[in-house]
A = this chain, B = another copy of it.
Amino acid sequence: MTKEIQVGLIGFGTVGSGTAQVLYEQADRITKRTGASIVLKKVADICTESLPSHFTDTQLTKDAADIINDPEIDIIIELIGGTTIAKKFILDAIAKGKHVVTANKALLSTHGMEIFSAAAKNNVEIGFEASVGGGIPLIKSLKEGLVANKILTIMGIMNGTGNYILTQMTDHGTPFDEVLKDAQEKGYAEADPTYDVEGIDTAHKLVILMTMAYGMDVRLEDVRCEGITRIEPIDIEFAKEFGYRIKLLAISRNHGEHVEARVHPTLVPEKHMLANINGAYNGFYFTGDMVDNVLLYGQGAGMMPTGSAVAADVVDIARNIMHNSINRVPSLSYLPDQIQPRRITPMENIRCPYYFRFSTLDKPGVLSKISGILSKYDISIESVIQKSRKMKGSVPIVMHTYEAQEDAVEKALEEINALETTTAETVKIRVLVDDEE
């Protein structure tokens, strides 16, 4: 009676073995919820010599083609990552009429359109819940739960490593380099942390979310990206005095004709939900025109949470196979012919309040000179902190401004940085306005 759905898994690393384990442990539960039995028929991995002994019915191969060419296999799970071989395997699988489930955000955010149109042409599905936010069911929420909403804003803490580092800096006042080293020793951060700390991983995820939320053809190079490597404990401390936490946020606002797409450190009001997401947790904050603000929060990575998302996609596709309802929900949430390019808001047109930390000589008239320049560019100051605490022979002047425009800010800072009394480049961090009240 129970229908069998055969699955093949390519890549048996952390997420791959987690996924296999989820499918194994939850097999009975999945059958009780679907009437189907998900059978992991084959695993392909070049480095694995044997599978854990409880996978009695699963064959191990070194050749992904053994899976891609197996006519019994309906769904292929790609978990090797990267944008070269993974892409080839996925396109081969699609060409063979297989459905694909993947966690590969780097691939989808750079070659997504090619993959999704190949899938549409071959009438197969691409499941990618695991590519953003680990096990948090946010792709499904955007595609289905919020189907009757124009998404006005996407914001989020989308990288656990970056958030862990900022949380440690905030809680203990430890400098970035020290926290990073410690995180690397503990295995929380990669040996090459560039993707995490420079915001690139976050940008990958933002591209995927924007594509779906807006029905838009977005490219990675559309996202303006600044990392957290230049954040100092002193900025975190001043931010606290103003009532803010510093978080690495992805932000996209939908202005209709054009949309914002940016990743950068941000001062978040301490009462805002995003300010309270700590450690390796992720939070995705959507504003819909009907539903208002929604936050989805959880482990944004990890073996079992990500495996949970992969398994959910496999079950979703299995249901469609059983009911003969493939592409019941379009992979990108809008029908393929509705996906349109849209203009990206130029960064110089962004408007928000700003945090500035000026490093200046401790001389009379400096504050007046700085405020004069700001005022010339229509930048109004909401509050100032000036302390005579010396840093490297200079004093910090810290300001929180009212909303200003990025290009005016750039020009003002250029003038201020050129002043004789300025001893180091001004630190500039954008500020989030609280919309929850």
Binding site for B on A (CB under 8 A): 22-23, 25-26, 29-30, 32-35, 129, 134-137, 140-141, 144-150, 215, 271, 273, 276-279, 281, 288-299, 302, 304-305, 307-309, 311-312, 315-316, 319-320, 322-325, 328-330, 333-335, 338, 436-437
Contacts and interface: CB of A to CB of B under 8 A. Distances in A.
Given A148-B23, A302-B292, A312-B144, A334 B33 contact: yes
Given A137-B141, A148-B29, A148-B315, A298 B305 contact: no
Contacts of A329: 319
A26 B137 contact: no
A135 to B, nearest CB: 4
A33 B147 contact: yes
A278 B270 CA distance: 13
How many copies the complex holds: the figure is 2
Contacts of A141: 137, 140-141, 145
A305 B333 contact: no
A290 B307 contact: yes
Given A304-B291, A325-B323, A325-B325, A148 B299 contact: no
Contacts of A295: 295-298
A147 B28 CA distance: 11
Interface centre among A145, A271, A281, A308, by most chain B C-beta atoms within 10 angstroms, is A145
A33 to B, nearest CB: 5
A148 B30 contact: yes
A295 to B, nearest CB: 4
Contacts of A311: 147-148, 290
A335 B35 contact: yes
Contact of A298 (B129, B293, B304, B324): B293
Given A33-B338, A135-B294, A273-B277, 8 more contacts: A25-B290, A137-B141, A147-B311, A273-B297, A276-B276, A290-B304, A322-B328, A323-B328
Nearest to A293: B298
11 contacts: A22-B148, A25-B290, A32-B334, A136-B291, A141-B145, A144-B315, A291-B299, A291-B304, A291-B309, A319-B325, A320-B328
Contact of A330 (B22, B33, B148, B304): B33
A283 to B, nearest CB: 8
B297 A291 contact: no
A148 B305 contact: no
The 7 closest A-B pairs by CB, nearest first: A137-B145, A135-B291, A148-B311, A323-B325, A325-B325, A295-B297, A290-B308
Contacts of A34: 147, 335
B30 A147 contact: yes
A137 to B, nearest CB: 2
A377 to B, nearest CB: 36
B293 A32 contact: no
A338 B32 contact: yes
B145 A140 contact: yes
Nearest to A275: B276
Given A290-B22, A299-B291, A215 B147 contact: no
A32 B375 CA distance: 47
B312 A148 contact: yes
Given A29-B148, A315-B148, A308 B324 contact: no
Contacts of A294: 135-137, 296-298
Contact of A144 (B299, B316, B324): B316
Contact of A150 (B29, B333, B436): B29
Nearest to A141: B137
A282 B278 CA distance: 20
Nearest to A145: B137
